[in-house]
Structure 1
């Protein structure tokens, strides 16, 4: 289990989809080819079957759509605050993938949060680095590595306290016994996937529903954070009273944010259904 909680924690999640530009370039498809047709070709080339018509593609073949994170900050006076962060900030503005990736990676390099994700070493962090390279971004402070992982900030070393991949702690190694984030969350009394899944993201993008993608992304970030709290409690980093207090902070964050983000009302309602004893205790 992970050993410590840093003063600044970002529990993050990223959303992406097959990149039609990559499909056109790698499969010699015409520029005028429809985006959906290009993606269908990419899925076919990527091993589509009748049972799995849209297989998971290599992250290098995809493009970033949004990033969301729950930030936990312990201040000098001991006070703890939570924030919900997301990029892009305005779903109605022209989408700029390069700006999203640059902002997130350089913010990590500047602020040095402890990153928390689920399958983030193999997926989320990987695509951020790959897209950063392909887009010509510089993120030197994020990419800087110490000679030895314990001598400084290192987001790439497996098992590093600077980047906690919850999947690896829940089930070391791969295999059919590896739980999804949804499975681990719901069976722990935490909301998982609700009205959408990752398979729906390309369709939402093609229909111009970036706001729904960001909403889905934010809910996954909250789920990742709550699973992290659960695992930190399991490992003794929060005592029972502290764990209840941390969950109350999340509830307060959701209530505050839901004034402008109606999709969080549904998330809170789902959490209350899954963990009625928690809310009776707090209520």
Structure 2
């Protein structure tokens, strides 16, 4: 841990606890775990149009974390407790890792309503103490929903904390940047993959989601002015090299690269299509304030 880690970008994949569903929702009916899950999914489909079971009935079976340095470069990506994928060990390693790196900022996409709550509830379930996460009061408390230094939910950034909707979710936002988004698997298929014993496939799916989240994270830093567009483009190029260097031993990286598209930079296209000296000397921001003002009122 020689490298100082400023952000931990993560994603959680989970499956339903059929035994818990049977006890809580269907007491006395002697449902098997499988029957309880299927029955609840049928009810949810009829009621909400989705088979996705609430996080309170789920346990984490894959958690992938990208470690990001202070300069926002990608340092490492790990899948917790691979290849065993034991939920209690995943949960312990998740919180102990955050403590070991001196409480870097968690980064998620829609993690405010799912990923963080499921990891908190898993800590409750397995008796994992996380006092630093629960310390403090008011807006400075790590669990305060507006404390973006403790947890930065990128969906919150793009929706002004839910004032707007992010229709299309992670898949859409990733593809705006030319990144793969959802490929061969989606969240609703995780349960079947788990039932079929394909735990590694779930982890690989989670790994690709984390990569998408990392690139979205970089663009939000550009959006906020923390880095320049040129710096973001260089960080993306460096990350692609990082992925390529590890692709031979990782199917997830091979699939990700196979679906990779470079972001089409419209500013470069403008410069290439306009050979005039004025175009060559202009910048993205525009150096002439009067010209910029005229553009706004056109």
Question: What TM-score do you get using the length of structure 2 for normalisation?
Answer: 0.79
2: distance between equivalents of 1:159 and 1:79?
Answer: 20
2: distance between equivalents of 1:240 and 1:175?
Answer: 25
Counterparts of 1:201-280 in structure 2, within 5 Å, are: 201-272=190-261, 275=263
Partner SS state of residue 260, structure 2: helix
Contact 2:16 2:37 in 1 (8 A): yes
Contact 2:7 2:68 in 1 (8 A): yes
Contact 2:5 2:67 in 1 (8 A): no
2: distance between equivalents of 1:262 and 1:136?
Answer: 34
Q: Deviations over 1:52-87 (max 9, x none)?
A: 351x3221111111101211123xxx7955211111
- Quote the offset at 1:160 in angstroms: 2.4
- Quote the offset at 1:238 in angstroms: 1.3
2: distance between equivalents of 1:31 and 1:107?
Answer: 40
Is 1:189 aligned to residue 187 of structure 2? no
Contact 1:190 1:227 in 2 (8 A): no
- Specify which structure has the bigger relative contact order, considering alpha-carbon pairs within 8 angstroms and separated by 6 or more residues: 1
Q: Pick one of 20, 35, 42 that aligns with 2:40.
A: 42
Gaps of 5+ in 1: 1-5, 279-283
| Counterpart in the other structure of 1:158 | 146
1: distance between equivalents of 2:89 and 2:28?
Answer: 27
Distance 1:50 1:121, change over 3 A: closer
Distance 1:81 1:168, change over 3 A: closer
Contact 1:102 1:139 in 2 (8 A): no
Partner SS state of residue 243, structure 1: helix
Is 1:73 aligned to residue 73 of structure 2? no
- More moved, 251-260 vs 215-224: 251-260
Contact 1:201 1:213 in 2 (8 A): yes
1: distance between equivalents of 2:146 and 2:28?
Answer: 38
2: distance between equivalents of 1:170 and 1:79?
Answer: 20
Contact 1:232 1:238 in 2 (8 A): yes
Is 1:129 aligned to residue 152 of structure 2? no
Contact 2:112 2:145 in 1 (8 A): no
1: distance between equivalents of 2:154 and 2:58?
Answer: 23
Is 1:82 aligned to residue 75 of structure 2? yes
| Counterpart in the other structure of 1:62 | 58
How many correspondences in the alignment? 262
Question: What TM-score do you get using the length of structure 1 for normalisation?
Answer: 0.83
Contact 1:82 1:250 in 2 (8 A): no
Q: Deviations over 1:103-138 (max 9, x none)?
A: 101211332111110111110000110121122222
If you compute each CA radius of gyration, which structure gives the higher value, 1 or 2? 2
Is 1:52 aligned to residue 49 of structure 2? yes
Q: Pick one of 8, 11, 15 that aligns with 2:9.
A: 11
2: distance between equivalents of 1:118 and 1:139?
Answer: 22
Contact 1:13 1:68 in 2 (8 A): yes
2: distance between equivalents of 1:257 and 1:29?
Answer: 51
1: distance between equivalents of 2:166 and 2:205?
Answer: 26
